[in-house]
Amino acid sequence: MTLRRPAKPAPLVVAASLVAIEALFLLGYAVLELSSISSDRVALAVTTSVFFAAYGALLLFCAREVARGRSWARSPIVLAQLIQLGVAWSFRGGDTTPVAIALAVVAVVVLAGLFAPASVDALADPED
Protein backbone atom coordinates (compact mmCIF):
# COMPACT_ATOMS: atom_id res chain seq x y z
CA MET A 1 0.00 0.00 0.00
CA THR A 2 1.40 3.36 -1.02
CA LEU A 3 0.52 6.46 0.94
CA ARG A 4 0.20 9.58 -1.17
CA ARG A 5 0.93 13.00 0.18
CA PRO A 6 -1.98 15.38 -0.04
CA ALA A 7 -1.63 17.93 -2.82
CA LYS A 8 -0.32 21.31 -1.80
CA PRO A 9 -2.99 24.00 -1.71
CA ALA A 10 -3.10 26.37 -4.67
CA PRO A 11 -2.40 29.53 -2.62
CA LEU A 12 0.80 27.96 -1.30
CA VAL A 13 1.92 26.88 -4.76
CA VAL A 14 1.22 30.36 -6.17
CA ALA A 15 3.12 32.02 -3.30
CA ALA A 16 6.12 29.70 -3.69
CA SER A 17 6.13 30.21 -7.46
CA LEU A 18 6.07 34.00 -7.15
CA VAL A 19 8.89 33.90 -4.61
CA ALA A 20 10.93 31.73 -6.98
CA ILE A 21 10.36 34.29 -9.75
CA GLU A 22 11.42 37.09 -7.41
CA ALA A 23 14.54 35.11 -6.57
CA LEU A 24 15.39 34.66 -10.24
CA PHE A 25 15.04 38.41 -10.79
CA LEU A 26 17.40 39.05 -7.86
CA LEU A 27 19.93 36.57 -9.25
CA GLY A 28 19.63 38.22 -12.65
CA TYR A 29 20.22 41.61 -11.09
CA ALA A 30 23.36 40.26 -9.41
CA VAL A 31 24.67 39.12 -12.79
CA LEU A 32 23.81 42.46 -14.41
CA GLU A 33 25.57 44.31 -11.63
CA LEU A 34 28.70 42.23 -12.17
CA SER A 35 28.58 42.94 -15.88
CA SER A 36 28.60 46.68 -15.23
CA ILE A 37 31.86 46.77 -13.26
CA SER A 38 34.03 49.72 -14.01
CA SER A 39 37.39 50.58 -12.50
CA ASP A 40 35.96 53.34 -10.32
CA ARG A 41 33.26 51.18 -8.70
CA VAL A 42 34.68 47.66 -8.36
CA ALA A 43 33.99 47.29 -4.65
CA LEU A 44 30.42 48.57 -4.97
CA ALA A 45 29.62 46.29 -7.91
CA VAL A 46 31.10 43.20 -6.27
CA THR A 47 29.45 43.72 -2.87
CA THR A 48 26.11 44.56 -4.47
CA SER A 49 26.32 41.46 -6.65
CA VAL A 50 27.21 39.23 -3.72
CA PHE A 51 24.36 40.66 -1.64
CA PHE A 52 21.71 40.19 -4.33
CA ALA A 53 23.03 36.75 -5.30
CA ALA A 54 22.86 35.60 -1.68
CA TYR A 55 19.41 37.17 -1.20
CA GLY A 56 18.14 35.53 -4.40
CA ALA A 57 19.64 32.15 -3.53
CA LEU A 58 18.10 32.24 -0.05
CA LEU A 59 14.68 33.14 -1.44
CA LEU A 60 14.91 30.42 -4.08
CA PHE A 61 15.86 27.86 -1.44
CA CYS A 62 13.02 29.00 0.85
CA ALA A 63 10.52 28.89 -2.02
CA ARG A 64 11.49 25.29 -2.71
CA GLU A 65 11.31 24.35 0.94
CA VAL A 66 7.93 25.98 1.55
CA ALA A 67 6.61 24.18 -1.54
CA ARG A 68 7.84 20.96 0.05
CA GLY A 69 5.87 21.75 3.19
CA ARG A 70 8.66 23.01 5.45
CA SER A 71 7.09 25.57 7.76
CA TRP A 72 10.38 27.22 8.81
CA ALA A 73 10.86 28.55 5.26
CA ARG A 74 7.78 30.76 5.59
CA SER A 75 9.49 33.21 7.97
CA PRO A 76 12.28 34.40 5.64
CA ILE A 77 9.75 34.71 2.83
CA VAL A 78 7.42 36.81 4.97
CA LEU A 79 10.32 39.05 5.99
CA ALA A 80 11.35 39.47 2.34
CA GLN A 81 7.80 40.43 1.36
CA LEU A 82 7.58 43.00 4.15
CA ILE A 83 10.85 44.49 2.95
CA GLN A 84 9.48 44.46 -0.59
CA LEU A 85 6.40 46.40 0.55
CA GLY A 86 8.74 49.03 2.00
CA VAL A 87 10.67 49.18 -1.26
CA ALA A 88 7.40 49.50 -3.18
CA TRP A 89 6.39 52.41 -0.94
CA SER A 90 9.67 54.17 -1.68
CA PHE A 91 9.13 53.76 -5.45
CA ARG A 92 5.66 55.34 -5.46
CA GLY A 93 5.15 58.53 -7.42
CA GLY A 94 6.52 59.65 -10.74
CA ASP A 95 7.87 57.30 -13.39
CA THR A 96 8.43 54.46 -10.91
CA THR A 97 4.79 54.09 -9.86
CA PRO A 98 4.23 51.01 -12.08
CA VAL A 99 7.23 49.35 -10.43
CA ALA A 100 5.83 50.20 -7.00
CA ILE A 101 2.45 48.73 -7.90
CA ALA A 102 4.00 45.53 -9.29
CA LEU A 103 6.20 45.05 -6.21
CA ALA A 104 3.30 45.69 -3.82
CA VAL A 105 0.86 43.41 -5.66
CA VAL A 106 3.33 40.52 -5.74
CA ALA A 107 4.18 40.95 -2.05
CA VAL A 108 0.51 41.05 -1.03
CA VAL A 109 -0.34 37.99 -3.16
CA VAL A 110 2.57 36.05 -1.65
CA LEU A 111 1.60 37.03 1.90
CA ALA A 112 -2.05 36.15 1.23
CA GLY A 113 -0.97 32.81 -0.22
CA LEU A 114 1.24 31.99 2.74
CA PHE A 115 -1.38 32.94 5.31
CA ALA A 116 -4.38 31.38 3.56
CA PRO A 117 -5.98 28.85 5.93
CA ALA A 118 -5.23 25.95 3.58
CA SER A 119 -1.55 26.97 3.41
CA VAL A 120 -1.30 27.34 7.18
CA ASP A 121 -2.80 23.85 7.56
CA ALA A 122 -0.43 22.41 4.95
CA LEU A 123 2.59 23.91 6.74
CA ALA A 124 1.44 22.96 10.25
CA ASP A 125 3.43 20.39 12.16
CA PRO A 126 1.74 16.99 12.22
CA GLU A 127 1.68 17.03 16.03
CA ASP A 128 -0.33 20.27 16.13
Break the chain into its structural domains and give their ranges: 10-123
pLDDT of residue 114: 97
% the chain with pLDDT above 90: 79
pLDDT of residue 38: 83
Distance CA 11, CA 31 (A): 30
- Quote the pTM value: 0.88
Distance CA 122, CA 5 (A): 11
Distance CA 65, CA 27 (A): 18
For residue 115, count other CB atoms closer than 10 A to its CB: 13
Looking at the predicted structure, is the pLDDT value of residue 64 above 90? Answer: yes
Looking at the predicted structure, is the pLDDT value of residue 78 above 80? Answer: yes
Mean pLDDT, the chain, as a whole number?
92
Looking at the predicted structure, is the pLDDT value of residue 15 above 90? Answer: yes
What is the torsion angle, in degrees rounded to the nearest 10, for the CA atoms of residue 50, residue 52, residue 55 and residue 59?
-130
* Rounded mean pLDDT, 39-54: 91
